[in-house]
Amino acid sequence: MTTRAPRLSTAPDLAAIDGLTSLERARRQPLMVGLFLPHQQGAWSPSKAPRRTDWSFAYNAECAVQAEEMGFDLVFALAQWLGKGGYGGDIKFRENTLDPFIASAGLAPLTRNLLLISTVHVLYGWHPLHIAKYGAVIDHMAGGRWGINVVTGYKDKEPRMFGLPKIERDERYARASEFTRIMKTLWTSDEELDFDGAWWRTEKAFVAPKPVNGLPVLVNAASSGAGLDYATDHSDLIFVTSPAGADPAKACESLPAHIARIKDMAAAKGRDIRVMLNPHVICRPTDAEAWAWRDQILAERDETAVGNFVADFMGGDQTSWKGHSIENWAVGGNVHLVGSPQTIVDWMVKLKAAGVDGVQINFFDFLPDLAYFRDAVWPLMHEAGLRNSQPA
């Protein structure tokens, strides 16, 4: 495991230059770009193919700092609760995991510009007052760059780890909505809050300091009717999955209608949201080399880990990943972008044309893959008009 100390970003403080928040700056980009951090052992791919990706905080901090110095807009990570051995197999896929709520606090003083999104299962024993207070503190540590990805938890066994019963999907989102309304009030009101709701109560609850820029950035990943109703009520960024699986050509066919429906729902509520997608990028100098590496990742998959991984995700009541195959899961990520630097950029242009406002990228071997992305892909994204230059 990596033990080196995390380093500070050398990027200029853009807020001091342009006066914008991280979200405002990101929304001005033709295509927002984020990094899905490898907080879990084995990251996104239950494969035994060689790599040095590490779940440790130091490794994730280096990923975040490199992403910021490149000009990425945000970083983000999963939160999950697994038993001994994670998803199992020889690699003990995802046994060791960081918690993104805690890790965001650690990333705050190391970075200057990145929007730091913390995933939190808000129904696993939290009170809205806890998250409102702790989130406001992290937001101050980050100079107003913190946001929360609200998840309700669809896996049956996760709430049982906390001694809680399973909650059906529509009720989960109803609870999350009440939770979020309380947080928003605590973040914006100068008065003490008395609240008597269906699931939470407060008496003279109060949070100070308030978040730096009013409400922190709110994020959600949703596809069901109840989930999208919640997301379009509250979220600034909504993560979607391809209804057609990992093939980018099929994704580009299925996404326009899906994204249009979401944006229409938000617009009907007077809200302007941004939609992001999670591509797994496998890039090499040529298409042939990239596909050969993709095939190796797939060929060296840990069959036990893949089987447990798929069974766990498909066993709950989520609807986002139903179009994916075993092979898709073995490689990891939602949409697979495989090819030369120009091929990767061409696919991103097509995804943007399909209605995608941003991509939250993951890799197989994060630090070397991110470095190659910086050197070979990032300049082409600027040339293609997908990215604006940041002020120096």
Domains observed in the chain: 14-383 (3.20.20.30)
Q: Average pLDDT in the 183-210 region?
A: 98
Backbone angles phi, psi at 232, to 5 degrees: -75, -20
| DSSP characters over 237-274 | EEEE--TT-S-HHHHHHHHHHHHHHHHHHHHHTT---E
8 A C-beta contact, residue 210 and residue 146: no
The C-alpha atoms of residue 103 and residue 56 are separated, in whole angstroms, by 10
pLDDT tens, position by position, 279-318: 999 999 999 999 999 999 999 999 999 999 888 766 555 5
Residue 247's pLDDT band (cuts 50, 70, 90): very high
Portion of the chain with pLDDT greater than 90, in percent:
87
The C-alpha atoms of residue 85 and residue 96 are separated, in whole angstroms, by 8
pLDDT computed for residue 272 by the predictor: 94
pLDDT tens, position by position, 23-63: 999 999 999 999 999 999 999 999 999 999 999 999 999 99
Nearest to 32 by CA among 387, 293, 389, 375: 387
**Whether residue 267 has pLDDT greater than 90:** yes
Q: Is the dihedral of CA 53, 9, 379, 100 positive or negative?
A: positive
Backbone angles phi, psi at 339, to 5 degrees: 155, -170
Backbone angles phi, psi at 204, to 5 degrees: 55, 40
pLDDT tens, position by position, 118-137: 999 999 999 999 999 999 99
